[in-house]
Structure 1
Amino acid sequence: MYLLGLGLILLVLKYLAWGVVAQWSWWLVLSPFAAAVAWWTWADNTGYTKRKAMERDNKRRDDRRARTKAALDANFAKRKR
């Protein structure tokens, strides 16, 4: 996402002819988009994206289980009194 943001900023600066970016070649201005495509291709082909999604799902599941267990323990402690 950072590469896309950088690419959009550079694209707008080049279009508006703002500062030093106005003198850069279009290849340099558009290179963050190519880098983003390369990153996404690598991430999808190596399984990085899927692995990160699974880690996020596992953390969410573990957090939910911990909250449920804490709530059950609190209810159990109240009943024993």
Structure 2
Amino acid sequence: MYTLILGILLVALKYLEIGPVAQWSWWWVLSPFAVTLLWWAWADMTGYTKRKAMEKMEERKKERIDRQKETLGLAPRRPR
């Protein structure tokens, strides 16, 4: 995600001809988009994206259960 933001920033600087970026080749300016594309392809192929989504869902589920137990007056489970 950081490389995508960097790419957008570099394109804006190149288009508006601000600073040293105005003198750079378009290949250098657009290279963060290639890095972003490679990162997303790797993350999807290895299951990184799905694993992070599952971890986030599990954490939300645990927090919801702990909150309900606290409402009922029961102590939430402590991690072992």
TM-score (norm 1): 0.89
Percentage of pairs with the same residue: 59
* RMSD of aligned Cα (Å): 0.9
> Alignment length, in residue pairs?
74
What per-residue deviation string (whole Å, max 9, x for no partner) do you get for residues 8-53 of structure 1? 0000100111110011110000000000000000000000000000
Tell me what 2:9 maps to: 9
Tell me what 2:47 maps to: 47
| Structure 2 residues without counterparts, runs of 5 or longer | 75-80
Tell me what 2:70 maps to: 70
Structure with greater proportional helix content = 1
Whole-angstrom distance in 1 between the partners of 2:72 and 2:16: 60
Tell me what 2:58 maps to: 58
Instruction: List 4+ stretches of structure 1 deviating above 2 A.
Output: none
| Structure 1 residues without counterparts, runs of 5 or longer | 75-81
Shift of 1:2: 1.0
Whole-angstrom distance in 2 between the partners of 1:4 and 1:64: 33
Whole-angstrom distance in 2 between the partners of 1:36 and 1:18: 23
